[in-house]
Structure 1
Amino acid sequence: MSLQHGTLPAAWSAHRAALADYIELTKPGVTSLILLSTAVGFYLGSEQGLQILRLIHTLV
C-alpha cells in the first residue's frame, strides 16, 4: 500500500479549512471586545475596588 502524492496535503488543507471555519464562527475579535467591555464595566461598577477572583469568574 503506497501513499499517493497529493493525498496528505489535501487532507491537511481540508483540516485547515475546517479550522478557519471554526475560527470564523467564534469571531475572536468580537469576543475579545465583549470581554474587554465587561471588564471595564466591572471595574467601573465595583464599589469595593477591583476583586480579581470575582472578575475572572465573571469573564469565564
Structure 2
Amino acid sequence: MTTNDYRFRRLYAEHATAVHRFALRRAGPDTADDVLAETFLVAWRRIDDVLPDRERA
C-alpha cells in the first residue's frame, strides 16, 4: 500500500459518514451516494492538497 493509499483510506474512514449524512440532509437519499462518491473522487485526485504531507514541509 502506498502512502497516498494509506492517507486516502484514513481520510475516508474519518469523514465519509459525516459527508454522507450531510448529503442526505441536503440532497436526499437518491443523490447522497453520488455526492459521497464524487466528493472522495475529488479528494483522491487532489490528495496532496487535502492532506499535505506534514513531513515534507
- Normalising by structure 1, what TM-score? 0.37
Greater helix share, 1 or 2?
A: 2
Higher relative contact order (CA 8 A, sep 6+): 2
**TM (normalized to structure 2)?**
0.38
> If you compute each CA radius of gyration, which structure gives the higher value, 1 or 2?
1
